[in-house]
A and B are shown apart, each in its own frame.
Chain A
Amino acid sequence: MAYKRHQNKGESPKLDMTPMIDVVFQLLIFFVVTLKQEDILSKLDAARPAASTDERVKEQQQQLINVIVAPQGFIFNGRPMRIQELDRSIERLSGYSKTAMVIIKCTSDSPHAFLIQVLDVCYKHGMTNLSIFSM
Chain B
Amino acid sequence: MAKEYAQCEIDMTPMIDVVFQLIIFFVVTMKMNQDSNQDIVLEDGKSGQILTADSMPPTTLEIEVDRRGRISIHNATLTERNLRDILRARINKHGNEFPVLIRGDRRAMHEKVRKVMDICTSSGLWKLSFVAVEEHKKRGSK
Contact = CB atoms under 8 A, between A and B. Distances in A.
B79 interface: no
Interface residues of B, number: 59
B30 A40 contact: no
Interface string A1-38: 01000100100101111001000100100010010111
Contacts of B130: 43-44, 46, 115-116, 119
Nearest to B38: A36
Contact of B113 (A16, A31, A112, A121): A112
Contacts of B15: 20
Contacts of A69: 110
Contact of B138 (A6, A36, A109, A111): A36
A42 interface: yes
19 contacts: A2-B3, A6-B6, A14-B2, A14-B8, A15-B8, A15-B10, A16-B5, A27-B22, A37-B138, A42-B47, A42-B50, A42-B132, A43-B132, A108-B114, A112-B109, A112-B113, A113-B106, A116-B43, A120-B43
Interface of B: 2-3, 5-6, 8-12, 15-16, 19, 22-23, 26, 30, 33, 42-51, 65, 101, 104-114, 117-118, 120-121, 126-139, 141
